[in-house]
Structure 1
Amino acid sequence: MPSFSFTRAQVALSTFAMISLVSNLVYASPTESPPLRRATICNGSPDLCSRGFGNVTFVGAHDSYAVGTNNIFATQDYNITQQLNDGIRMLQMQAHNSSGVIHLCHTSCSLLDGGTLQAYLTTVKAWLDANPNEVLSLLIVNSDTLPPSSYDTVFKAVGLDTMSYSPPSSSLLESNWPTLGSLIDSGTRLITFMDSNANFNSVPYIIDEFTNIWETAYDVTTSFDCNVNRSNANTPTATSMYLINHFLDTLVLGQPAPDPSQANQTNAVTGSNSLGEQFSLCTGQQGRNPNFMLVDFYEYGGGSVFEVAATANGVTYSPATPIATPGGTGSTSPSATSSSLNLSFSRWSSVWVVIGSIAFGAFYI
């Protein structure tokens, strides 16, 4: 066997060369491998950057596209840009196939048509671009069981596919979701759930809702509970994220419809049937906070829905500017009715559509 011997100088030179090589690999030039920026403010607070997405409570707008005062099916008074500016961080919607184009409609497009999904998502994209330190969720009710590829086409058309988070698998436990900071740093700040027909293998960023989230009852007209109402049979509900439906309906011709007359109390921090009461009930029953709280007429209560979420997240609710006021005061967006009225004439003026929907058995809020 040949023998080798090295002088101290040779050893030192070899060691220096190895260190230089490793340094060049680790500290590549910015043009070759730009370092990731590190978010210091996430969804309005530095305390949330290290928090896992599954360990944060978000306020969601139920049927966020159903905006207006001249239709009994309207559930929000302000458009989605105002909703997002005020603090909504989950936008729920019903998607329907309207002559080959995806529209956002309440029950059916003949009752309330909120426009095309593409126009809606274009607004979402503009807001995300203007707010680079925010993580946002979408919840799509796939009413006509369209294939995920149909949604993928729209997402790509507006540029949201590259901003969407694709999980490593089709199902994640509450504790396995990435942190808000990592979602912001990676540029994948949009998390989209779909209630039916999602396919992880074809469009991985459209995530099946009920293998990751369970829900409480909806269309409540009396009092709220925290029982599992909708989920996948195989979903581990004890360790999965969950959503509380906290919007109180009233009966119109025997069918549930949005009730703005109770919204101040429904959205309140404390009191009977308040959001705070259901939140506390769920936290006590489940041993952990709800991840999502869907509400109607979010601005009623003067920001109370966001105060409940802030308390849940251990941060202070102190908006830089006041949120929108009930009735649409000071905004060109469609406005709400006065909370002192049961329902305004403009809302009741469309009650005839309910009769038609009942006749066809299509009523669904």
Structure 2
Amino acid sequence: MASFKFFFVVTILVMFHPAAISFVSSSLELGDQCSLDEDCNVGLGCYKCGIEVARCVRSNITYPFSVVNNSMPFNKYAFLTTHNSFAIEGKPFHVATQEDTIVQQLNSGVRALMLDTYDYQGDVWLCHSFDEKCFELTKFNRAIDTFTEIFAFLTVNPLEIVTLFLVDYVKSPNGLTKVFTDSGLKKFWFPVKNMPLGGQDWPLVKDMVANNQRLIVFTSAESKQNTEGIAYQLKYVVENQYGDDGVKPGECSNRGESALLTNKNKALVLVNHFKTVPVKILTCEDNFEQLVDMIKTCYLAAGNRWTNYVAVNFYKRSIEGGTFQAVDILNGKLLCRRDDVHAC
């Protein structure tokens, strides 16, 4: 009897020991109410949506190369993309569109970054600005610092490919080239000459990896393709309208500068799905069911083509599966015509 009492007391003490409580509370599943990220199972985070209670939602991607391997052409995969990836919370008076650092974004499975580049103080800066100029109150980070982080990620992840979409206001001759060279990113450069035209398939991912050509860079400045060898985005990608005009239910119109979404001479499709004014606490409403509906609408608008890049604000703010589930759906459709990449 004494031994039973001892066992009972020890059991109670263990159950109420902080470490045990932490262990027990870390078993919350997708959709369960939570207080901290640590409350949720691996692969989930605790996020609040509007006035609702915080719940466990997905917090990282399914890597398609691990599910279906990397033997398909690059344009047969879908990639989570962050809009204004550099506009990270923490700078007073700045408009933020993301809460994670670039490193955190990449480690969570983001594989395409949208960056706005400007000349500022004799260097290239990432800014969210106006009038094609960067100012003290609109600058976020030096491009070299962010590019160095991308270099480090590609170095330690030799099977991964990253795409950069540059809204490019750099006027200094070879200004961008210098930053790419100084950061070491030229080591991973995918050359323009290897980019297919006429809607042809891109190289196989496994060949891109074998050749270490794992950084795809697109610029909004058409002249840079000839002067610096940086691919002009609209020559290779079609995309829908961004901002409030691009998130209307049942509509998927092309961006004004883009070729028509039905133009199959461009092998890559980009779907923008973010509001003009980013509101973190409300973004969760955009980032799952509405996002999936938009992807399906844009599939039809693009001549029955699934998107390769899906761009969002506050990419972890969602309801349940969120942006990660949306990308799983896309990869399922692209790779095996199933509704989820896990079914491939």
TM-score above 0.5, yes or no: yes
Structure 1 CA distance, aligned partners of 2:198 and 2:85? Answer: 27
Tell me which residue corresponds to 2:330.
Answer: 312
- CA deviations over 1:125-148 (Å, ceiling 9, x no partner): 00111111111100111124454x
Aligned equivalents of 1:159, 1:208: Cα separation in 2: 21
Deviations 1:232-253 (CA, angstroms, capped at 9, x unpaired) = 569982341221111123xxxx
Counterpart residue number, 2:73: 52
Residue range with higher mean Cα deviation, 90-99 or 216-225: 216-225
Which position in structure 1 is the counterpart of 2:98?
A: 76
Number of the residue aligned with 2:309: 292
Once residues 101 and 159 of structure 1 are traced to their aligned partners in structure 2, the CA distance between those partners, rounded to angstroms, is 17
- Counterparts of 2:219 and 2:127 in 1: how far apart (Å)? 16
Aligned length: 265
The answer to whether 1:282 aligns with 2:295 is no
Q: State the AA in 2 paired with 1:99.
A: Q
Mapped pair 1:258 → 2:278: yes
In structure 2, distance between residues paired with 1:133 and 1:227: 34
User: Is the 2:238–2:260 contact (alpha carbons within 8 Å) kept by the matching residues of 1?
Assistant: no
Structure 1 residue 113 and structure 2 residue 170: aligned? no
- Quick check: 2:151–2:184 contact (8 Å CA) kept in 1? yes
Structure (1/2) with the larger helix percentage: 2
Further displaced range: 235-244 or 301-310: 235-244
Tell me which of 93, 116, 124 is aligned to 2:115: 93
Aligned-pair distance for 1:60?
A: 0.6
2:236 to 197, 212, 215: 212
Please provide the CA RMSD for this pair: 2.6
- Picking from 153, 163, 166, the partner of 2:191 is 166
| Greater Cα offset, 109-118 or 57-66 | 109-118
* Partner-residue secondary structure (3-state), 1:176: coil
The structure-2 alpha-carbon separation of the partners of 1:312 and 1:102, relative to structure 1 and needing over 3 Å to count, comes to same
Give 5+ residue unaligned stretches, structure 1: 1-40, 250-256, 319-365
* Structure-2 change in CA distance of 1:303 and 1:153 (3 Å): farther
Deviation at residue 110 of structure 1 after TM alignment: 3.1
Aligned to 2:179: 154
Partner in structure 1 of residue 155 of structure 2: 129
Instruction: Confirm or deny that 1:62 pairs with 2:97.
Output: no
Which is worse superposed, 90-99 or 233-242?
233-242
Higher Rg:
1
3-state SS, counterpart of residue 161 of structure 1: helix
Q: Evaluate the alpha carbon distance shift between residue 75 and residue 42 of structure 1 in structure 2; reply closer, same or farther with a 3 A threshold.
A: closer
Query: Among 273, 285, 295, which residue is 1:246 paired with?
Result: 273
| Percent of paired sites with the same residue | 25
What is the distance in 2 between the residues matched to 1:113 and 1:44? 36
Superposition deviation, residue 65 in structure 1: 0.6
Cα pair distance change 1:112/1:187, threshold 3 Å: same
Point out where structure 2 has 5 or more consecutive residues left out of the alignment: 1-61
Shift of 1:44: 4.1
Whole-angstrom CA distance in 2 between matches of 1:131 and 1:202: 30
- 2:198–2:264 Cα contact (<8 Å) kept: no
- Give the TM-score of the pair, scaled to structure 2: 0.70
- For 1:298, the aligned partner's letter is Y
